[in-house]
A and B are shown apart, each in its own frame.
Chain A
């Protein structure tokens, strides 16, 4: 399997995807990005690197992850066949391990001693702490105070894995502030530290590099569909926070215009009010923040606006530059799902298929539930189930108002 391949949607040498992307960083970070870009360009042409990474994918993370035909859900909705790419069955529970392994290998090649990362839901932090433990890096994870409060299980495990979890107590205290804190740390520690950025965003080469490390998802889907007698999917559906799971699913299909691509953003508590959602496509406009140009939720002056989502991983004001570019070229359609729709989709998938999705991934499921009945039974949809839902037990139980869970918490607190 060839992990690294070109598409007509790739960035130029400076990391520009049309008008988006680039490398808008303070001069202190420029040498580190050059070093990383150099190491990445060497690695992607090195058969040994590819072999090593594919070996880790298989033996450490448990790839390939299943492509599962959701027969019950398909029957219930009465339309297109729904397939679920179950990235939740990866080691550490989500697709984040894919780029964490890729970057850890690169960091080792560059002789770095320490990994730092930002995290929202905690899945990327967990994946980073995991590879740090495996490869023997020191590790610091930056996480917003709000996210620490709502994702305690991941924090606990990151600490058990030997990482220091640093609470970010400025700004909105969520994902974007964790990115800011990680960049600040990197500026101060750039000589021996690799910033293991956790999505297809940030300054070049992160968007392209993480996309390449995630492309395994779509490559597997293409092969696995053949087992079901499907030549190619009609629709690919993925949730979009920064865009790593979406780019992972989409990349292998970008140049096949017969395959429709749908991204799903966090509609939160409704998209009409600032601070209640994270719908960048529509409500956002071009800006330059955190080292890259893309669509950002910002006010008329360019100040970044607060966001909300029931899922910490989609609660972010910016979006990966390649997705903004694909959307501007008409290659990508963006929809959103509200918190309420997401919880309903989560319950539906659990009851019909016995699969517990992460809240982030449940956004994609919600879209598939809307889409499938509008299509014919000869068509197929692949939903990227980017992570499993174990981490969300506290949020979901509270959102569903489960009395027995409340009683359990009360007893446990004694």
Chain B
């Protein structure tokens, strides 16, 4: 069974909300990635998203873009992400997902990318700019499935019921729900329409929901806990990491993960 599904089953069994955290591969360094992900796992994160840095990250906010830029100018390659996964697999047991813009996957070759991801111990893929209507051409969902990877589907508050029905045909494991309009970045309050949106999504897709974009406080995780199975925290992790002085960073990340784990 895919490790993500096992973890989701555990979470349900233990009646707690999952926490998915995020790092940009190669930011600030691959060495730092290893210790940060270890710290996240130690503090109770349930899943970690490893984002491949890209030159044109259209769905990312300023914090993430800066991390993408700095990682690339440090020379990070796709192969480094796979090597990182291999290293992490030695010490970290929680499921790891690769987040990437589609061009990197396309350039690597969908088949080769999925094969390598599966071989290194990746459990899932998050490719925000490879929507279901391009599957006929790209065969990403089908190839990922063949290699035992979950290629995660996305929904947003503007997704119509008809579109949800379409997405239902491809969705496996869990669904990534954008919580508010907007690119990644910490915001103050949750969308007031969130409840109806998440209920509607769950009703159609019949899958666990992971809610992302804008979560940075425990109170927000508590708000979504009755509605969703997993809280996704990206920019807030990176912000915390960036603002803490050297020597305090890992401690700070661990504290934030503990605070957000409900």
Q: Which residues of A contact B158 (CB under 8 A)?
A: 28, 30-32, 190-191
A69 to B94 alpha-carbon distance, docked (Å): 71
Q: Which residues of B contact A296 (CB under 8 A)?
A: 103
Are A188 and B129 also in contact (CB < 8 A) when A28-B158, A171-B55, A304-B56 are?
Answer: no
Q: Which residues of A contact B156 (CB under 8 A)?
A: 26-28, 30-31
Contact assessment for B56 and A288 in the assembled complex, using a CB-CB cutoff below 8 Å: no
Q: Considering the complex, give the chain B residue whose CB is closest to the CB of A24.
A: B129
A187 to B137 alpha-carbon distance, docked (Å): 25
Q: Interface size on B (CB < 8 Å)?
A: 39
A300 at the interface (CB under 8 A from B): yes
Q: Which residues of A contact B133 (CB under 8 A)?
A: 14, 22-23
Q: Residue B59 contacts which of A32, A34, A187, A303 (CB distance < 8 angstroms)?
A: A187
Contact assessment for B137 and A289 in the assembled complex, using a CB-CB cutoff below 8 Å: no
Q: Which of A266-291 contact B (CB under 8 A)?
A: 286-291
Q: How far is the CB of A32 from chain B (nearest CB, A)?
A: 7
Contact assessment for A188 and B106 in the assembled complex, using a CB-CB cutoff below 8 Å: no
B168 at the interface (CB under 8 A from A): no
Q: Residue B58 contacts which of A180, A188, A190, A300 (CB distance < 8 angstroms)?
A: A180
Q: Considering the complex, give the chain B residue whose CB is closest to the CB of A286.
A: B106
Q: How far is the CB of A340 from chain B (nearest CB, A)?
A: 29
Contact with B along A332-352 (1 / 0, CB 8 A): 000000000000000000000
B209 at the interface (CB under 8 A from A): no
Q: Which of B99-155 contact A (CB under 8 A)?
A: 101-104, 106-108, 128-131, 133-134, 137, 154-155
B65 at the interface (CB under 8 A from A): yes
A214 to B142 alpha-carbon distance, docked (Å): 39
A171 to B130 alpha-carbon distance, docked (Å): 22
Q: Which of B155-186 contact A (CB under 8 A)?
A: 155-156, 158-160, 163, 178, 181-183
A170 at the interface (CB under 8 A from B): yes
A27 to B166 alpha-carbon distance, docked (Å): 12
Q: Which of B41-64 contact A (CB under 8 A)?
A: 54-59, 61-62
Are A24 and B102 also in contact (CB < 8 A) when A30-B131, A31-B159, A32-B158 are?
Answer: yes
Q: How far is the CB of A362 from chain B (nearest CB, A)?
A: 28
B78 at the interface (CB under 8 A from A): yes
Are A302 and B106 also in contact (CB < 8 A) when A16-B137, A180-B56 are?
Answer: yes
Q: Considering the complex, give the chain B residue whose CB is closest to the CB of A31.
A: B158
Contact assessment for A23 and B134 in the assembled complex, using a CB-CB cutoff below 8 Å: yes
A16 to B66 alpha-carbon distance, docked (Å): 33
Q: How far is the CB of B226 from chain A (nearest CB, A)?
A: 24
Contact assessment for A301 and B183 in the assembled complex, using a CB-CB cutoff below 8 Å: no
A31 to B163 alpha-carbon distance, docked (Å): 9
Contact assessment for B103 and A289 in the assembled complex, using a CB-CB cutoff below 8 Å: yes
Q: Residue A31 contacts which of B101, B106, B160, B182 (CB distance < 8 angstroms)?
A: B160
Q: Residue B163 contacts which of A30, A188, A290 (CB distance < 8 angstroms)?
A: A30
Q: Residue A24 contacts which of B130, B163, B181 (CB distance < 8 angstroms)?
A: B130
Q: How far is the CB of A178 from chain B (nearest CB, A)?
A: 12
A291 to B131 alpha-carbon distance, docked (Å): 10
B69 at the interface (CB under 8 A from A): yes
Are A27 and B107 also in contact (CB < 8 A) when A32-B158, A304-B56 are?
Answer: no
Contact assessment for B58 and A183 in the assembled complex, using a CB-CB cutoff below 8 Å: yes
The prevalent SS among residues of A at the interface is mixed
A189 at the interface (CB under 8 A from B): yes
A19 to B137 alpha-carbon distance, docked (Å): 8
A176 at the interface (CB under 8 A from B): yes
Q: How far is the CB of A25 from chain B (nearest CB, A)?
A: 6
Are A28 and B178 also in contact (CB < 8 A) when A298-B107, A300-B107 are?
Answer: yes
Contact assessment for A287 and B103 in the assembled complex, using a CB-CB cutoff below 8 Å: yes
Most buried by B among A34, A291, A298, A303: A303
Q: Which residues of A contact B137 (CB under 8 A)?
A: 16, 19, 22
Q: Considering the complex, give the chain B residue whose CB is closest to the CB of A296.
A: B103
Q: Which of A1-22 contact B (CB under 8 A)?
A: 14, 16, 19, 22
B77 at the interface (CB under 8 A from A): yes
Q: Which residues of A contact B54 (CB under 8 A)?
A: 302-303
Q: Which of A149-201 contact B (CB under 8 A)?
A: 170-171, 176-177, 180, 183-184, 187-191
Q: Considering the complex, give the chain A residue whose CB is closest to the CB of B155.
A: A27
Q: How far is the CB of B31 from chain A (nearest CB, A)?
A: 21
A24 to B56 alpha-carbon distance, docked (Å): 14
Contact assessment for A303 and B134 in the assembled complex, using a CB-CB cutoff below 8 Å: no
Are A298 and B103 also in contact (CB < 8 A) when A28-B178, A180-B56 are?
Answer: yes
Q: Which residues of A contact B57 (CB under 8 A)?
A: 180
Contact assessment for A302 and B107 in the assembled complex, using a CB-CB cutoff below 8 Å: yes
Q: Which residues of B contact A170 (CB under 8 A)?
A: 62, 65-66, 69
Q: How far is the CB of B190 from chain A (nearest CB, A)?
A: 15
A175 to B155 alpha-carbon distance, docked (Å): 29
Contact assessment for B182 and A188 in the assembled complex, using a CB-CB cutoff below 8 Å: yes
Q: How far is the CB of B71 from chain A (nearest CB, A)?
A: 11
Q: Residue B183 contacts which of A188, A289, A290, A304 (CB distance < 8 angstroms)?
A: A188
Contact assessment for B107 and A287 in the assembled complex, using a CB-CB cutoff below 8 Å: yes
A31 to B154 alpha-carbon distance, docked (Å): 13
Contact with A along B72-90 (1 / 0, CB 8 A): 1000011000000000000
Given contacts A184-B58, A187-B181, 15 further A-B contacts (CB under 8 A): A14-B133, A22-B137, A25-B131, A27-B159, A27-B178, A31-B158, A31-B159, A180-B57, A184-B61, A287-B107, A300-B107, A301-B77, A303-B54, A304-B55, A304-B56
Interface CB pairs A-B, < 8 A, 21: A22-B133, A26-B128, A26-B131, A28-B181, A30-B156, A30-B159, A171-B69, A180-B57, A183-B58, A184-B59, A187-B59, A187-B183, A188-B183, A190-B158, A287-B106, A288-B129, A289-B101, A298-B103, A300-B107, A302-B54, A304-B55
Measured CB to CB, the residues of A under 8 A from B are 14, 16, 19, 22-28, 30-32, 34, 170-171, 176-177, 180, 183-184, 187-191, 286-291, 296, 298, 300-304
Interface pairs A-B: 4 shortest CB-CB? A302-B107, A188-B182, A27-B154, A31-B158
